[in-house]
């Protein structure tokens, strides 16, 4: 976005709109830009930035209109990329392909038009064609963003080793980019490269991922390498982060439960549940931890909640029955068993379960 970048350096109004957009207020930026364009309706840079802000505000048609006006005033590759992305986002593949053909006549060697053409090929399911374009583009103008796009495409194609190599290039060029770091962790996990995963979580910039995810992936690598004490410490570290990622906290809780670290598992599971209070699997996870801690009355409340939130899950219904049995709540258990047999008539766990049980069952 070199023309737009230069324009923002020269025009403080554009710069303020950009900062407002990056601060999470795309609609405010959009309104500022509309006011600016009212004064200068033929400003291609203001129209370009309006297209970006409108797209971020969910105003697709306004975004497309602004970007098309910008292109008519001054053909520019990055504007074409943003317009093509918008068209593809609403499924207008033919329109995006036609735009690329037309802009290619005006900008025949523009690398961003090549990028846009690759995006169209992906939408047309010509993944190998897109791969050729993006790999050639990256070889001539290396960038972290291009390497990341190449990695994403290679993963979709199914070339996992090449996808891992590409995301490593992205991280090497931009070590503190959270999305690139996270994808590196994911690729290493998929490759079962546990030593590489542990090493990657210790690199400078690894903590940029945030949410305790670096601690989680470090714990996962250490666990697979058989270093259970260090793994448990890493999993505990997930919830010590200021704003733990709920998914990472839940996954850490599951591993801690399997490792017999029940108090730590409860802490992690409750952190995850606080962020996702209507998540049935998390209620079930909390319930299992509490059962291991011999706090069955508390566990029962979460088994009940999981069964209500996800009534189609037979296993959670079965675990609810076991909890009722442990507490000797036979009357409620009889009703719950009848419902389970009706809802899951082919599940032998319910058909073979006795009608009643005592607290010791």
> Domains (ranges, CATH) in the chain?
295-361 (1.25.40)
DSSP 341-358: HHH-TT-HHHHTS-S---
**Long-range CB contacts (< 8 A, 24+ apart) of 186-189?**
187/151, 187/155, 187/160, 187/163, 188/164, 188/217, 188/221, 189/217, 189/220
DSSP state letter for 249: H
Write the pLDDT tens digit of every residue in 13-69.
Answer: 999 999 999 999 999 999 999 999 999 999 999 999 999 999 999 999 999 999 999
DSSP 136-154: HHHHHS--HHHHHHHHHHH
**Smallest Cα–Cα separation from 257: which of 280, 227, 223, 226?**
223
Inform me whether the pLDDT recorded for 337 exceeds 50. yes
What is the model's pTM?
0.85
Write the pLDDT tens digit of every residue in 174-210.
Answer: 999 999 999 999 999 999 999 999 999 999 999 999 9
Q: Which two tokens stand for residue 163?
A: 């996808």
Chain position carrying tokens 């008519």: 72
Q: CB of 27 within 8 A of CB of 57?
A: yes
Q: Report the C-alpha gap between 347 and 316 in whole angstroms.
A: 13
């Amino acid at each position: 976005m070199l023309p737009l970048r230069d324009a923002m350096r020269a025009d403080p109004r554009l710069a303020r709109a950009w900062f407002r957009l990056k601060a999470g207020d795309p609609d405010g930026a959009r309104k500022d830009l509309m006011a600016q364009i009212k004064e200068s309706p033929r400003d291609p840079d203001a129209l370009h930035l309006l297209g970006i802000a409108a797209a971020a505000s969910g105003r697709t048609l306004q975004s497309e209109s602004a970007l098309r006006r910008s292109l008519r005033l001054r053909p520019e590759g990055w504007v074409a990329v943003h317009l093509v992305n918008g068209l593809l986002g609403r499924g207008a593949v033919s329109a995006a392909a036609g735009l690329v053909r037309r802009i290619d006549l005006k900008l025949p060697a523009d690398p961003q038009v090549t990028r846009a053409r690759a995006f169209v090929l992906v939408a047309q399911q010509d993944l190998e064609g897109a791969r050729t374009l993006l790999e050639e583009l990256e070889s001539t103008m290396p960038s972290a963003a291009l390497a990341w796009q190449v990695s994403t495409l290679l993963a979709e194609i199914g070339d996992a080793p090449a996808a891992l190599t590409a995301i490593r290039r992205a991280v090497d060029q931009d070590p503190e980019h959270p999305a690139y770091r996270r994808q590196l962790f994911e690729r290493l996990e998929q490759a079962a490269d546990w030593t590489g995963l542990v090493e990657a979580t210790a690199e400078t910039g690894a903590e940029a991922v945030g949410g305790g995810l670096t601690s989680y992936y470090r714990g996962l690598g250490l666990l697979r390498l058989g270093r259970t004490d260090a793994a448990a410490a890493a999993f505990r570290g997930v919830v010590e982060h200021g704003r733990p990622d709920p998914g990472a906290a839940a996954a850490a809780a599951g591993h801690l439960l399997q490792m017999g670290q029940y108090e730590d598992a409860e802490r992690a599971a409750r952190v995850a549940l606080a962020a996702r209070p209507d998540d049935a699997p998390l209620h079930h996870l909390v319930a299992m931890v509490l059962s291991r801690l011999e706090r069955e009355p508390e566990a029962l409340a979460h088994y009940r909640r999981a069964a209500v939130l996800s009534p189609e899950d037979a296993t959670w219904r079965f675990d609810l029955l076991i909890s009722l049995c442990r507490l000797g709540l036979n009357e409620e258990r009889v009703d719950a068993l009848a419902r389970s047999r009706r809802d899951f008539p082919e599940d032998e766990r319910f058909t073979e379960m006795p009608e009643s049980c005592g607290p010791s069952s």
